[in-house]
Amino acid sequence: MAVRVAVIGAGVMGTDHARIIAGELPGAQLQVVCDAEEVKARIVADEFGAFGVGSDPIAVISRTDVDAAVIASPDDTHSTLAIAAIEAGKPVLCEKPLAPTAEECLRVIEAEKNCTRPIVQLGFMRRFDPSYSAMKAALDDGSIGSALMMHNFHRNVDSPGTWFTGDMAITNSASHEFDVARFVLGTEYTGISVWQPKRRDERTAPVMMVLETASGQLVNIEVNNNAAYGYDVRGELVGEQGSVFLTAPVHARYNLGLRSAEHYAPDWRPRFAEAYRLQNKAWIHSIETGAPSPIAANAWDGYQAAVVAEAGVQALNEGRRVAIEPREVPAFYRDLREAA
Ligand SMILES: NC(=O)c1ccc[n+]([C@@H]2O[C@H](COP(=O)([O-])OP(=O)(O)OC[C@H]3O[C@@H](n4cnc5c(N)ncnc54)[C@H](O)[C@@H]3O)[C@@H](O)[C@H]2O)c1
């Protein structure tokens, strides 16, 4: 029987998750779409053929005709809804970040430890992106030698609003890079330094971070949420014998008016379409088999990203390097990954 999924939050990401679940995953069925504004849930449910709609996410998660939930509502709802899903014994794919603070992430972890296995998968979908996979493979098979540096650029057209501060560029946007660099390099961070260049409107200034890893590598991350020209993610892993660049999927080049050009998308969905699809496929597979994906991020990874983000905000506000203390992975999360 197909896994009956509820999608919580019918905004940009919830709509995309609903589309993937309804149209691209034979093992899944879009059962309910829920949004605090029910009219939005109705629009998405009608477009992708869901059976029901709702406006109360806790009630939707506990429905007997719902087996699993995707949480795609705002950041500050994630931990409460993830814990509700855990208490109902229902697997959850939670959009990043797991929670805005490390303390809230720990609450999810504490709740999840009562389960027989981890049932929260976190939406750090870049782990499934084919270009990051190629980067990781080149490191793991030794072809570029030992890793020295990883450069990361994360640019959005403009920030969602003036409330989206430099702190949020670290806690929300950069969480993707914190996770994927840690995943590719297979190590933990030991320190972070953060700077901002001067921009006329200070609230929209980019953020530049340098992180050190326990294995002696440097990871730099530029987050520029007001880059104006398009959504653009770049990266390069530099090893002792070579390097690997990320390339974005490009399907056409336009030759017009004495110019040759490629187009940038206005947001992240086209760039990471395959990553979202593979991530959701792995999530449904993990529910079918009862074994968490060895690639996907779990609640512990979400906690690690939140710890780094908090250190980054402190580094920005205090204008100094902040050390990141090592934390041992609990056996509950470690054992399954080691067995995979
Ligand atoms: N993985 C990624 O690449 C990626 C990209 C963008 C956003 N995100 C994350 O996805 C989440 C959603 O982002 P978005 O861009 O889709 O936001 P959005 O504002 O477009 O959509 C959020 C929706 O949630 C609804 N909502 C608010 N409170 C709710 C509640 N308590 N219960 C149910 N619905 C509620 C809103 O009405 C809205 O329709 C955020 O946590 C964000 O950080 C992830």
What is the tens place of the pLDDT at every residue in 184-241? 999 999 999 999 999 887 778 899 999 999 999 999 999 999 999 999 999 999 999 9
pLDDT at position 203 is 74
pLDDT at position 202 is 74
pLDDT at position 21 is 98
The torsion defined by the Cα of 326, 332, 337 and 340, in degrees rounded to 10, comes to 160
pLDDT at position 11 is 97
Residue 213 shares a structural domain with residue 82? no
pLDDT at position 154 is 97
Q: How far apart are CA 313 and CA 91, in angstroms?
A: 31
Residue 191 shares a structural domain with residue 288? no
Residue to probe by mutation, ligand 1, list 17, 20, 32, 35, most atoms within 8 Å of CB: 35
Residue 104 shares a structural domain with residue 188? no
pLDDT at position 145 is 98
Residue 144 shares a structural domain with residue 103? no
Residue 88 shares a structural domain with residue 18? yes
Q: Is residue 332 part of a domain?
A: no
Pairing, β 92-94 against β 259-261: unpaired
Q: How far apart are CA 152 and CA 203, in angstroms?
A: 21
Q: What is the DSSP string of 250-280?
A: ----EEETTEEE-PPPSSHHHHTHHHHHHHH
Residue to probe by mutation, ligand 1, list 83, 95, 156, most atoms within 8 Å of CB: 95
Q: Is residue 255 part of a domain?
A: yes
Pocket of ligand 1 (CB under 6 A): 8-14, 34-37, 40, 57, 72-75, 77, 95-96, 123, 125, 172, 268
Residue 147 shares a structural domain with residue 269? yes
CATH number for the domain spanning 230: value is: 3.30.360.10
pLDDT at position 180 is 98
pLDDT at position 159 is 87
Helix (H) / strand (E) containing 284 = helix 273-289
Q: How far apart are CA 287 and CA 98, in angstroms?
A: 19
Q: Is residue 333 part of a domain?
A: no
Q: How many angstroms separate the most distant Cα atoms in the chain?
A: 64
Residue 217 shares a structural domain with residue 315? yes
Residue 96 shares a structural domain with residue 170? no
Residue-range definition of the domain harbouring residue 119: 3-126+276-298
Q: What is the pTM of this model?
A: 0.96
How many structural domains is the chain composed of?
A: 2
Residue 253 shares a structural domain with residue 285? no
pLDDT at position 301 is 97
Looking at residue 328, its amino acid is E
Nearest-CA neighbor of 187 among 159, 221, 147? 147
The torsion defined by the Cα of 336, 13, 281 and 84, in degrees rounded to 10, comes to 50
CATH number for the domain spanning 29: value is: 3.40.50.720
> 246 CA to middle of ligand 1, Å?
27
Residue 240 shares a structural domain with residue 222? yes
pLDDT at position 337 is 63
Q: Is residue 74 part of a domain?
A: yes
Bond from prior residue into 97 cis (ω within 30 degrees of 0): yes
Other CB atoms within 10 A of residue 5 CB: 29
Q: Is residue 334 part of a domain?
A: no
**Sequence-separated contacts (24+) of 145-148 with Cβ below 8 Å:** 145/239, 145/240, 145/241, 145/242, 146/239, 146/240, 147/185, 147/215, 147/217, 147/237, 147/238, 147/239, 148/217, 148/218, 148/238, 148/239, 148/240
Residue 141 shares a structural domain with residue 192? yes
Residue 158 shares a structural domain with residue 90? no
pLDDT at position 340 is 59
Flag residues of the chain having pLDDT under 70.
335-340
